Amino acid sequence: MFGEEWFASLKEFDRQIAEAVAAEGCRHCGGPLYQGNYERKPRGAQLAWAGEAFRVRHSLCCGREGCRRRALPPSLRFLGRRVYLEAVVLLASVQAMALETLRQAREATGVPTRTLRRWRGWWTEAFPSSAVWTQLRARFVPPPPAESELPRSLLERAEAVLGVEAVATNVLLLAARWLSPVTTQSVPDGSRFVVAALQS
């Protein structure tokens, strides 16, 4: 389902997002932003192993002497600093909710039980209390996705927005777009760059 072509398209979106952020210059001093990409070692577990081949995380660095601040553009592949790809975090978290035990979820996804437990805590405690969720929740036509059911409720809302013929990859892409502000702290208005890249 999540083959190399899909991850290649996400990589291209990430590149376009990085170019758009770079075009506006450094938000601190207005200086030029240059590519300072770095390699990650993403994990796809049993759900998205094809994504492990796409390792470059786009990053920018101010070229003005005395500033040199970094800007990390939003990403549709990486969910912050997590080692696992965003698609894996979403899908494995939903599987962990659906199955009776975390052991079953581990066997189905390939993600360790401790990691699944930590993600569950993030979805139920840290994310709902974040500024990103406050802003995102306000954008939904009432009612917003149920906080107690995150991330399943978020994926269900994405599926409803796309319609009955929604393809799983498109559902994940829309959810990744909504979650894009979580992927960076140095580009506070990052979601507008994501919207622009997806519409081009």
What percentage of the chain carries pLDDT values higher than 90? 86
Are the beta carbons of 48 and 87 closer than 8 angstroms?
Answer: yes
Does pLDDT of 200 surpass 70?
A: no
Summarised one tens digit per residue, pLDDT across range 145-175 is: 999 999 999 999 999 999 877 899 999 999 9
* 130: Cα within 13 Å, side-chain hemisphere: 16
Give first-to-last CA distance, the chain, whole Å.
24
